């Protein structure tokens, strides 16, 4: 079974995070959230406390996908955490799937894992994600071992792109969610 590790650090964007977790679990991807503190409740961007499953550790290396959600201050906390930076580099060096959306893409830039890849990100991030070979204005992009997405309105296409990158057809889930009926791409 495919396993996804979704990172939660103070200031993370809870709607992005929880929707991604829900969708990946619906696709039968074993998904856990990882925190960086002993207290299981992590303070989010909108002031909510949400319970994370596990404490961040080398256990994440046993996962197939690492997901970095956005958040106005979370990206700075991730970048300041050398364990996160090293884990992202380890995933990249081992050709494991790395996924980030919104300001989480800035974390991938700081970790140096975007080189030679086509990516997307929040509006204006073409100037920020400089190591990528190409920045495109698209909702979600998968290139080599990296999935990126634009922002808070894109958790669904982002999660679907992660599923595709894992070899899972998201079509049945999209159908159950009436995604196409609602005009989703």
Q: Specify whether the CB–CB gap between 132 and 118 falls below 8 A.
A: yes
Is the pTM here over 0.75, yes or no? Answer: yes
**Pseudo-torsion of CA 57, 168, 75, 37, nearest 10°?**
-30
Long-range CB contacts (within 8 A, 24+) of 48-51: 48/14, 50/8, 50/14, 50/17, 50/18
Segments making up each domain of the chain, as ranges: 3-176
Question: Does 152 score more than 90 pLDDT?
Answer: no
Which pLDDT tens digit goes with each residue over 122-148? 988 999 999 998 999 999 999 999 999
pLDDT digits (tens, 9 = 90+) for 50-60: 999 999 999 99
Q: Has domain 3-176 been given CATH number 3.30.420.10?
A: no
* Exposure string over 115-136, b if 16+ CB within 10 A, otherwise e: eebbbbbbeebbeebeebeebe
Round to whole Å and give the CA distance between 119 and 125.
10
Please tell me the predicted confidence (pLDDT) of residue 74.
Answer: 95
Quickly state the pLDDT bin for 185 (edges 50, 70, 90).
low
Q: Are strands 97-101 and 65-68 parallel, antiparallel or unpaired?
A: parallel
Which of 61, 15, 71 has the alpha carbon at shortest distance from 34? 61
Encode pLDDT of 58-102 as tens digits.
Answer: 999 999 999 999 998 999 999 999 999 999 999 999 999 999 999
DSSP 144: T
Q: Which of 125, 118, 124 is nearest to 140 (CA)?
A: 118
């Amino acid at each position: 079974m495919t396993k996804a590790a979704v990172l939660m650090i103070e200031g993370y964007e809870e709607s992005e995070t929880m929707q991604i977790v829900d969708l990946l679990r619906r696709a039968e991807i074993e998904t856990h959230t990882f925190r960086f503190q002993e207290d299981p409740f992590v303070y989010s961007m909108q002031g909510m406390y949400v319970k994370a499953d596990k404490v961040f550790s080398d256990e994440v290396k046993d996962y197939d996908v690492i997901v970095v959600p956005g958040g106005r201050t979370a990206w700075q906390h991730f970048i300041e955490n050398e364990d996160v930076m090293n884990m992202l580099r380890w995933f990249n060096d081992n050709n494991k799937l790395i996924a980030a959306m919104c300001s989480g893409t800035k974390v991938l830039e700081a970790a140096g894992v975007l080189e030679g890849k086509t990516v997307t990100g929040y509006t204006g991030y073409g100037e920020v994600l400089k190591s990528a070979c190409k920045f495109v204005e698209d909702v979600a992009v998968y290139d080599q071992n990296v999935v990126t997405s634009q922002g808070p309105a894109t958790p669904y296409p982002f999660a679907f792109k992660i599923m595709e990158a894992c070899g899972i057809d998201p079509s049945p889930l999209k159908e159950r969610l009436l995604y196409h009926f609602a005009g989703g791409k």
